[in-house]
Amino acid sequence: MNRRRPPRELAGDPEAWPHAQLTDPGAAVIQAIARALANALKAQKRSLRQTATGSGVNRQAIADLLAGRCWPDVATIARLENFLAVPLYPPRSGTHDDH
């Protein structure tokens, strides 16, 4: 994972965010979280300001997550999930069996 560059810059075409094909697994997770967050905000008709106030997450941090300009921490995702009452972290598509 390349955390020196924002996730959207790992998309090849940053303008394709949040629907670009990504090869970096970390950036792909952030992209899925950004899509889920955008869908939840739209479905619940919530503004960034309402979401920031209710979740305790800075409004600019939410905007940066949606735009793929940051690598959010686990606490940020947890607070947003709790406030919106929806899962944002994507389910695993496969599992590793080390045995």
Of 72, 69, 94, the closest CA to residue 81 belongs to 72
Amino acid found at 65: L
* CATH code of the region 7-84: 1.10.260
Question: How many Cα atoms within 13 Å fall on the side-chain side of residue 12?
Answer: 8
Report residue 98's pLDDT band, with 50, 70 and 90 as the boundaries.
very low
pTM: 0.88
Kindly list the domain boundaries of the chain, sorted by start residue: 7-84
pLDDT digit string, tens, across residues 16-70: 999 999 999 999 999 999 999 999 999 999 999 999 999 999 999 999 999 999 9
Q: Coil, strand, or helix at residue 67?
A: helix
Task: Tell me: pLDDT of 99 over 60.
Answer: no
